[in-house]
Amino acid sequence: MAKQIESIEIFPGENGGHRVVHNFKREASKKEGAMAGDVYMERPKPAEHFFGKSGDGKVLPHVARC
């Protein structure tokens, strides 16, 4: 199953650009090892995208595609 976006955060970058963070919904996963078979909810790592100062016009189209 593809990751589903739960939220998107936009932060000002240190270089005058922007940092866009995609946070994903939790997904059911199975444990391996001694506790094999148990199902738990796991949140995938956030995806970060960096846009430099010259890339300001690319931030909103990127968010719109999500």
Task: Summarize pLDDT for 38-60 with one digit per residue, the tens.
Answer: 777 888 999 999 998 886 688 88
| Model-wide pTM > 0.85 | no
**Over 70: is that where the pLDDT of 34 sits?**
no
Strand order in the sheet with 18-24: 5-12, 18-24, 47-51
| Nearest Cα residue to 49 out of 14, 18, 24 | 18
Q: C-alpha angle 21/16/18, rounded to 5°?
A: 15
